[in-house]
Amino acid sequence: MSNSLKPASGILFTAAFALLFSISVRAADDWYPSRYGADDTLGAINQLSPAKVVQAARLVKTGKTYRLGVETGPAAPAYPPRQYALTVLQPGDGTGAPMGSNRATGNDDLLQTWMGIGSQLDGLGHMGIDHRYYNGLHARDFVTAKGLTRLSTDKLPPIVTRGVLLDMAKHLGQPIVAQGTAFNRAEIEAAAKAQAVTLEAGDVVLFHTGWLNLAESDSARFMAGEPGLGLDGARYLAQLGVVAIGSDSWAVEVIPHEDPSQVFPVHPELLAKNGVYILENMDTRALAADGVYEFLFVLGQPRFVGAVQAVINPVAIH
Amino acid sequence: MSNSLKPASGILFTAAFALLFSISVRAADDWYPSRYGADDTLGAINQLSPAKVVQAARLVKTGKTYRLGVETGPAAPAYPPRQYALTVLQPGDGTGAPMGSNRATGNDDLLQTWMGIGSQLDGLGHMGIDHRYYNGLHARDFVTAKGLTRLSTDKLPPIVTRGVLLDMAKHLGQPIVAQGTAFNRAEIEAAAKAQAVTLEAGDVVLFHTGWLNLAESDSARFMAGEPGLGLDGARYLAQLGVVAIGSDSWAVEVIPHEDPSQVFPVHPELLAKNGVYILENMDTRALAADGVYEFLFVLGQPRFVGAVQAVINPVAIH
Amino acid sequence: MSNSLKPASGILFTAAFALLFSISVRAADDWYPSRYGADDTLGAINQLSPAKVVQAARLVKTGKTYRLGVETGPAAPAYPPRQYALTVLQPGDGTGAPMGSNRATGNDDLLQTWMGIGSQLDGLGHMGIDHRYYNGLHARDFVTAKGLTRLSTDKLPPIVTRGVLLDMAKHLGQPIVAQGTAFNRAEIEAAAKAQAVTLEAGDVVLFHTGWLNLAESDSARFMAGEPGLGLDGARYLAQLGVVAIGSDSWAVEVIPHEDPSQVFPVHPELLAKNGVYILENMDTRALAADGVYEFLFVLGQPRFVGAVQAVINPVAIH
Amino acid sequence: MSNSLKPASGILFTAAFALLFSISVRAADDWYPSRYGADDTLGAINQLSPAKVVQAARLVKTGKTYRLGVETGPAAPAYPPRQYALTVLQPGDGTGAPMGSNRATGNDDLLQTWMGIGSQLDGLGHMGIDHRYYNGLHARDFVTAKGLTRLSTDKLPPIVTRGVLLDMAKHLGQPIVAQGTAFNRAEIEAAAKAQAVTLEAGDVVLFHTGWLNLAESDSARFMAGEPGLGLDGARYLAQLGVVAIGSDSWAVEVIPHEDPSQVFPVHPELLAKNGVYILENMDTRALAADGVYEFLFVLGQPRFVGAVQAVINPVAIH
């Protein structure tokens, strides 16, 4: 590029940027402060209530429990460059000498893992728009290399409420729902109706798609796409006041995205704009096999200080 | 050493080893196979049952939930050399450029931690006697540097059952029970009786001692000792068939130990000999403050593959 | 902010940004392509030559060697949030059983460390200007979370050349030169003259300031500031064609900076604009004590693939 | 076990242990204290001397430098379960906002690696016999999970001396010497004679076998065996007083081992019994191609505190 052309192109670029900038400024303020107040950091967790807990506990009938977490290990579904290494060791001098007159021996473990691996909770600091996160919080106000100072997953109370499984595989008659299949308001309402369940504020909604079966049999295909929530479906569920949305897939949202120019649009729609939590890689297979569509959902996430996400293993109790 | 001497010394060696071996075998075999069968790997989790879940769910009355996990971070109670480091980062080129037409941005996290830190579950592979662990499994049969091949905490089903809090601080009239105070059969029975609760098979028993208050105010004193379970108390509870025993202290067992020649004797007594799980650094303060002694206990541990222990956050629901 | 004000302020902001942008565009292109060609990735390492190696080898007279690396451990000087953890372990089953008829035993180690800790080499991908690094390379062209694809320190050839120590402590008559003391062209020329040494292309220049003594005695003061290279001095040395510049301080450059509005200005001046490497926390004490001002400098950095920096221990041989 | 039986079995135990102990003591004491004194921790590094440095520096003739370190990354040759992960990140809030009026930007890196990967130095604490290491030091005296308190590689002075390459590939007329080919005294003397070089005390000896070519082309075959030093060859070189022995293979010693009942017998022979250091995965290809058999060898290992091993990149200068 010759020097004489630079000023001109600089001006053009500036004009274009100005346009972009004014658009984004205008678009930005629709979505904050949040409906839970300008200082809120919990989002849809505000929809939880003791009354809801009591109601949900009444769903326990058979006493059967379901662990929704998958094995989180070196072979777990992971979005690059996320990885996992666990080392079992016996801190000491390596001689294996038992301790004390009771001859105690032991093992310890050291974990090096990305949090966004296996079954995981996406906290409200995970994805945002233009560096603004839930409630309009800007990255500069809470993101540090040593941990989030707000919105970290260790700050969350337990999520105990009614869980609802929407068996999309059954509803669509596909053992594994095809990738790119979007779940929007129409599909969600139809599936709920077919199951005779009414979604309510404070619920945790889980989609069963069969997609998780691919994690073991064909992990490349598993990671290449997935059926899942569309933008309209996300808005619909958020509007209803659900606390968290999960799926038996790694991103919960439909891939390829509905609008190919967008990147993970459902994530910031739920997390940033609505304070709704995302539960990835939920193992819904046993629930679906048993036809259990309503249950007591209990999540006590490990409280790793400052964490953006959390490896979790929620329990469904029926 | 000349070759001619080898056979002889080899024989001597063998004889000596045989002698040693027969002694240790004799001492060892009292405690295995386990009462749950020679192939069992779950221990007292076998005491769980759907019926027990249904009963426990009926304890939910107020709908109030209690998170029992403490913050697990760089300042969490940790037995040396255990430590914790979490790093929040934004995988990419560092420019902070938003992604897609939706201008998505995000944060990720990388965790480097020992598992035996903060609120933690001790799996049955954590402590043993002379390298034998639960059900007599020898270390050589399941311990590898890349993870336990048996007895790892990721293999456990959820623990959903009745939780019972024994408020030893209240019972003994000490806001913080003195270190070295052993809870044995007599103390446990007395406390249960005072609370009008009967311990049963399948229960999770938690001791409230007030000791956790020191974790924040005086961590050196916190780590230097603690009130806790004595050997006789451990045997008593194991006999009853409890699934897990927790406390608001870092080791659950009394320190200094009752017999100063021993090292963490309650750990292998519970884990190896009885298959009873240990729950350390449980935050029982809110339960004690509310006088909630019976509740629905729900633990879905993160399923880190091969892990010896697990950082946990069980939920008590009342 | 009311909606009616937004468009106007948007325009003002845009105008200001346009101004900034056109300035930065104009300022940016002075400094690349580099003097070593538009495709060069090695920078001032191009000044090395076999002839220079042969000359430098002739400086070996007494046969005394000096290790310039400091201990890099948990207590090493580290810019936050950098930290270090090393774990010694014995991969296996923990029994300590010796291996084979030769009864071999062993130890291994697992290192978790930031590279920018202790004695370190700053590679050309470490600091840049507006996300442009050496030779105008933009971050998007070589920075990934799994490692740099260009400019990483593993790609560098050994640095073997003449090393020159400038003993600023002696020259200024201060055992520990005061923080904020800038070494610019005048100071560098005067110190070199006092030592009767002429700086040349291909040299590695090390400043001795005594500052490293504080790392052990008063690490807070050590990290709070330092004497060091000023911008003019950096340009002077770069102009001369030196390969790398080191110091017995953690940043090599003067802190507080000469212009308080700037942040580590000497780093991108050397790395990005001139391809000159930076050697931090060099232990120059023994060289200074012996009055050794010219020596054979040898650096073979550990070749960690994709690394931005490298923990190093160059050797000075006299 | 009843109390009355304890004294008797205690006596039996003691007798058996005494028997065992006297056998192992007899076997053990041949090899320590070391020839460098009962308190020595440096081993054959004692053979280094200023005079040797001066002599070695005279070997510098062409000024050509050779980096002996291979790339140490996720694909580097690694003995299981060793692994490597490097993460490049930009500590901050993730917005990519430049710093200061000089608009500085930067990258940092976090390394998680086993030290025994890629090109590595085995320190004297790496392998021993029955938990005794160099100079008879017992593991209990210096091995801790947080690092070795003695014999760690950070304590070593630079190794600057004459390097000698023995081109075994050329000598045996095999571009890649067959696995299982042992280099013992006869082979070493013959190769040295063919190259007209006399091995001396204080030398670093490197074997070129061509084996490293397999690391890239066939890593399974590379790790499955190798040509290398035999026990007799190890003793011969140790006797001569060499400081360190390296090879272009991952273990330096011949695999399969000469005596199949043994496990890495050359390692403790060199490290524990003789204090001779081991340099693994040395890239000797360029030296061999140039026919450079004598050179100035310079190793400044990164000084990771407490480390058993060290990732290294020694420099050969000719």
Cβ distance D108 to C96 less than 8 Å, yes or no, reads no
Listed range (B23-27, C117-121, D143-147, D203-207) with the worst mean pLDDT: B23-27
What residues of chain B lie within 8 A of the CB of A72, using their CB?
A: 154, 302-305
Question: How is residue A178 annotated by DSSP?
Answer: P
Of B62, B96, B268, the CB nearest to A104: B268
Mean of all residue pLDDT scores within chain A: 91
Question: How close A162 comes to chain C (CA, Å)?
Answer: 39
Q: What's residue D169's pLDDT?
A: 98
- Interface probe with D: pick from C86, C162, C259, C296, most Cβ of D within 10 Å: C86
- Closest to C102 (Cα-Cα) out of D124, D262, D26: D262
- Asked whether the predicted pLDDT for residue A76 surpasses 90, the reply is no
Average pLDDT in the A5-31 region? 41
> How confident is the model at residue C76, as a pLDDT?
82
Q: Which backbone phi and psi does C20 adopt, to 5 degrees?
A: -55, -45
Q: Which chain C residues are closer than 8 Å to B97 by Cβ?
A: 140
Higher pLDDT, D271 or A20: D271
Mean pLDDT of the C157-182 span: 98
At residue A15, the 3 state secondary structure works out as: helix
Q: Which residues lie closer than 8 Å to C28 by C-beta, 6 or more apart?
A: C129, C130, C132, C136
What is the pLDDT at residue B299?
98
When pLDDT is cut at 50, 70 and 90, the band that residue B29 belongs to is low
Is the pLDDT assigned to residue A102 strictly greater than 80?
A: yes
The whole-number pLDDT of residue B79 equals 85
Cβ atoms of D76 and D70 within 8 Å: the answer is yes
Q: Identify the residue whose tokens are 């590094």.
A: D45
The model's pLDDT over A200-254, given as tens digits with 9 standing for 90+, comes to 999 999 999 999 999 989 999 999 999 999 999 999 999 999 999 999 999 999 9
**pLDDT tens for each residue of A103-154:** 999 999 999 999 999 999 999 999 999 999 999 999 999 999 999 999 999 9
Tell me, yes or no, if D311 comes closer than 8 A to chain C by beta carbon: yes
**For testing the chain A interface, which of B84, B101, B109 should be mutated: the one with the most A CBs within 10 Å?**
B109
The alpha-helical segments, DSSP class H, found in chain C are 6-28, 50-57, 168-172, 185-194, 213-217, 219-224, 231-240, 266-268, 274, 285-290
Give D112's contacts in chain A (Cβ within 8 Å).
85, 112
The helix (run of H) or strand (run of E) holding residue A53 is helix A50-57
Specify whether the CB–CB gap between D47 and D297 falls below 8 A.
no
Contacting residues of C for A22, CB less than 8 Å apart: 7, 10-11, 14
**pLDDT tier for residue A30 given thresholds of 50, 70 and 90:** confident
Residue B310: the pLDDT is 98
pLDDT tier at B80, thresholds 50, 70, 90: confident
In whole angstroms, give the CA distance from residue D163 to residue D161.
6
Per-residue pLDDT averaged across B20-40, rounded?
70
pLDDT tops 80 at residue C280: yes
pLDDT tens per residue, range B105-145? 999 999 999 999 999 999 999 999 999 999 999 999 999 99
Residue C126 has a pLDDT of 98
Q: For residue D296, give the 3-state DSSP assignment.
A: strand
CA D94 – CA D91 distance, rounded (Å):
8
Q: What is the pLDDT of residues A142-191, one digit of tens each?
A: 999 999 999 999 999 999 999 999 999 999 999 999 999 999 999 999 99
Higher pLDDT, B18 or B315: B315
Taking the Cβ of residue A186 and every Cβ of chain B, the question of whether any pair is shorter than 8 Å is answered with no
Q: Flag if D108 and C309 touch (Cβ within 8 Å).
A: yes
Show the tokens assigned to A148.
Answer: 């989030």
A50 touches chain D (CB under 8 A): no
Mean of the pLDDT values across residues B227-240? 98
DSSP code of C73? Answer: S
Are C83 and B85 in contact (CB < 8 Å)? yes
Cβ-based contacts of C22 with chain A (< 8 Å): 7, 10-11, 14
Asked if residue C25 has pLDDT above 70, the reply is no
**Could you tell me what percent of chain B has a pLDDT over 70?**
91
**Contacts by D46-51 with C-beta closer than 8 Å and gap 24+?**
D46/D275, D47/D201, D47/D202, D47/D241, D47/D242, D47/D243, D48/D157, D48/D159, D48/D160, D48/D161, D48/D202, D48/D243, D49/C63, D49/D202, D50/C62, D50/C63, D50/C64, D51/C63
For A16-30, B85-99, C230-244, which range has the lowest pLDDT when averaged over its residues?
A: A16-30
> Are D63 and C53 in contact (CB < 8 Å)?
yes
| pLDDT of A209 | 98
The whole-model pTM stands at 0.91
pLDDT band at D191 (very low <50, low <70, confident <90, very high): very high
Contacts of C68 (CB under 8 A, 6+ apart): C119, C206, C246, C279, C282, C283, C284, C313, C314, C315, C316, D300
Percent of chain A with pLDDT over 70: 91
Q: Which of C230, C158, C162 is nearest to C197 (CA)?
A: C162
CB atoms within 10 A of CB D298: 31
SS3 D51: helix
DSSP letters of B123-148? PTTSEEETTB-GGG-BGGGTEETTEE
Express as a percent the part of chain D with pLDDT over 70.
Answer: 91
Do D285 and D300 form a contact (C-beta atoms < 8 A)? no
Structure confidence by residue, pLDDT tens digits, C203-233: 999 999 999 999 989 999 999 999 999 999 9
Chains with ≥3 CB–CB distances under 8 Å to B = A, C, D
Rounded to a whole number of angstroms, the distance from the CA of B110 to the nearest CA of chain D is 9
Residue D78 pLDDT level (bands cut at 50, 70, 90):
confident
In this complex, is the C-beta atom of D81 within 8 Å of any C-beta atom belonging to chain A? yes
Q: Hey, is D189 helix, strand or coil?
A: helix
pLDDT at residue A10 tops 80 = no
Bridge-partner residues for B315, per DSSP?
B67, B298
The proportion of chain B whose per-residue pLDDT surpasses 90, expressed as a percent, equals: 88
The answer to whether residue B236 scores a pLDDT higher than 80 is: yes
B26 touches chain D (CB under 8 A): yes
Higher-confidence residue of B63 and A11: namely B63
Per CB-CB distance under 8 Å, the chain B contacts of A311 are 302-304
CB D265 within 8 A of CB D169: no
Q: How confident is the model at residue A80 (pLDDT cuts 50, 70, 90)?
A: confident
pLDDT in tens, D101-133: 999 999 999 999 999 999 999 999 999 999 999
Residues of C in contact with A107 (CB under 8 A): 94
Q: What is the pLDDT of residue C77?
A: 73
Amino acid A29: pLDDT: 61
How confident is the model over C80-112, as pLDDT tens digits?
889 999 999 999 999 999 999 999 999 999 999
In angstroms, rounded to a whole number, what is the distance separating the alpha carbons of residues D238 and C97?
27
Q: Give contacts of A94 with chain D, Cβ < 8 Å.
A: 131, 139, 143
- % residues pLDDT > 90 (chain A): 87
Q: Chain C: list its partners (3+ Cβ pairs within 8 Å).
A: A, B, D
Instruction: Return residues 141-180 of A near D (CB < 8 Å).
Output: 143-145
For D229-284, the pLDDT digits (tens) are: 999 999 999 999 999 999 999 999 999 999 999 999 999 999 999 999 999 999 99
Measured between beta carbons, which residues in chain D are less than 8 angstroms from residue B83?
none
Q: A2-6, B47-51, B207-211, B280-284: which has the minimum mean pLDDT? A: A2-6
Say if residue B197's pLDDT is above 90. yes
Tell whether ipTM is more than 0.95.
no
CB contact under 8 A, B113 and A115: no
